[in-house]
Structure 1
Amino acid sequence: MYPLLTVNLDHMRKNIRTVRGLCAAHGISVTAVTKVFRGDPRIAGVLAEEGMTMLGDSRVANLARMREVPAEKWLIRPPMLTEIPDLVRFGDASLNSEMCVVRAISEECLRQGRTHRVILMADLGDIREGYIDYDELIEAAGETDRLPGVELYGIGVNLTCFSFIQYDTEKLTLLADLRRRTEEAVGHPLQIVSGGNSAAVDLMLRGGIPEGVNNLRLGESVLFGKERAHYQYLPDTYADVFTLECEIVELKEKPSLPWGTVGVDSYGKKPEFTDRGEHRMKAVCALGKQDFDAETTVPCDPGIIMLGASSDHLMLDVTDSEHSYKVGDTVKLQLGYFSTMRAFTSEYVTKQYTGAAD
Structure 2
Amino acid sequence: MAELIIHSEKIKENLKYLSHYFETHNIAWSLITKLFSGDKTFLKTILTEDIIEKIPSVGDSRLMSLRNIREVYPNVKTIYINPSVAEHADDVVTYADISLNTSITTIEALNVAAKKKNVIHKIIIMVELGDLREGINNEDILAFYKSVFNLSHIEVLGIGSNLGCLFGVEPTPENLMQLSLSKALISEKFKTDLKFLSGGTSITLPLIENNLMPKEINHFRVGEAAFLGICPLDGKQFKELNTDTFELHANIIELQVKNVVPGGIISAAHSIDTIHNNEKNNSVRSYKAILDFGLLDVSKSDIEAENSFLYVGATSDMFVIDLGENKEKYKLGDKIKFKLNYMAVVRLLNSKFIDKVYV
TM-score, L = length of structure 2:
0.89
What SS does structure 1 have at the residue aligned with 2:256? strand
Q: Does 1:104 find its partner at 2:103?
A: no
Q: Distance in 2 between matches of 1:236 and 1:163?
A: 28
Do the aligned partners of residues 268 and 317 (structure 1) sit closer, same or farther apart at CA in structure 2, a change above 3 Å counting?
A: closer
Q: CA deviation at 1:267?
A: 11
Q: Say whether 1:117 aligns with 2:116.
A: no
**1:255 deviation in Å?**
4.3
Selected match of 1:334 from 332, 336, 339: 339
Query: In the alignment, which of 64, 73, 78 is matched to residue 83 of structure 2?
Result: 78
What CA deviation, in whole Å up to 9, does each residue of 1:264-321 have, x standing for no partner? 899989853476x934321111211221232221223x24344443321112222333
The separation in 2 between residues aligned to 1:342 and 1:94, in whole angstroms, is 25
Q: Which residue of 1 aligns with 2:290?
A: 284
Partners of 1:198 and 1:267 in 2: CA distance: 36
1:172-183 correspondence to structure 2 within 5 Å: 172-183=176-187
Tell me what 1:49 maps to: 50
Q: Given that residues 52 and 71 in structure 1 are in contact (C-alpha distance below 8 angstroms), is that contact kept between their aligned partners in structure 2? A: no
Q: 1:59 aligns with which of 55, 58, 62?
A: 62
Give the residue type in structure 2 aligned to 1:218.
V
**Which segment drifts farther, 317-326 or 208-217?**
317-326
The reply to whether residue 185 of structure 1 matches residue 189 of structure 2 is yes
Measure, in 2, the Cα distance between the counterparts of 1:260 and 1:233. Answer: 47
In the TM superposition, 1:222-261 aligns within 5 A as: 222-258=226-262
SS of the residue corresponding to residue 134 of structure 2 reads coil
The 2-side partners of 1:155 and 1:272 are apart by 49
1:153 to 138, 151, 157: 157
SS in 1 for 2:298: coil
Mapping of residues 166-177 of structure 1, within 5 Å: 166-177=170-181
Q: Give 1:295's match in structure 2, choosing from 276, 293, 301.
A: 301
Please say if residues 142 and 185 of structure 1, whose CA atoms lie closer than 8 Å, have aligned partners that are also in contact: no
Q: Is the 8 Å Cα contact of residues 273 and 313 (structure 2) preserved in structure 1? A: no
Query: Per-residue displacement from partner, 1:332-351 (whole Å, max 9, x unpaired)?
Result: 22222111111111122222
Could you tell me whether the CA contact under 8 Å between 1:123 and 1:129 is conserved in 2?
yes
C-alpha change, 1:35 and 1:253, in structure 2 (3 Å) is same
Measure the CA separation in 2 of the matches of 1:29 and 1:158: 16
Local SS of the residue matching 2:109: helix
Are positions 1:92 and 2:91 aligned together?
A: no
5+ residue gaps in structure 1?
A: none
Distance in 1 (CA, whole Å) between partners of 2:293 and 2:273 is: 22
Instruction: Tell me if the contact between 1:201 and 1:228 (Cα under 8 Å) persists in the aligned partners.
Output: no
Q: Distance in 1 between matches of 2:268 and 2:301?
A: 18
Letter in 1 for 2:322: D
Q: Which residue of 2 aligns with 1:23?
A: 22
* The 10-residue stretch of structure 1 (319-328 or 60-69) with the greater mean CA deviation from structure 2: 319-328
Contact residue 4 and residue 249 of structure 2 kept, 8 A: yes
| Secondary structure of 1:66 counterpart | helix
2:140 equivalent to 1:127: no
Aligned structure 1 segments of 4 or more residues deviating by more than 6 angstroms: 260-270
| CA apart distance, 1:166 | 0.9
Q: Structure 1 266/235 Cα, relative in aligned 2: closer, same or farther at 3 Å?
A: farther
Q: 1:264·1:270 contact (CA, 8 Å) conserved in 2?
A: no
Aligned residues: 351
Match of 1:146, SS? Answer: coil
Pair member with larger Rg: 2
- When the two chains are superposed, the root-mean-square deviation of aligned CA atoms in Å is 2.7
CA apart distance, 1:22? 3.3
Moved more, 180-189 or 242-251: 180-189
Q: Which amino acid aligns with 2:96?
A: G
Distance 2:60 2:269 in 1: 33
Identify if the C-alpha distance between structure 1 residues 189 and 323 changes in structure 2 by more than 3 Å, giving closer, same or farther: farther
Displacement of 1:61 after TM fit? 0.8
8 Å CA contact 2:31, 2:223 repeated in 1: yes
Alpha-carbon distance change, 342 to 154 in structure 1, aligned in 2, over 3 angstroms = same
Tell me the CA shift for residue 116 of structure 1. 1.4
2:136 is paired with a residue of what secondary structure? coil
The aligned counterpart of 1:349 is 354
> Alpha-carbon deviation of 1:42?
4.2
Q: CA deviation at 1:205?
A: 1.6
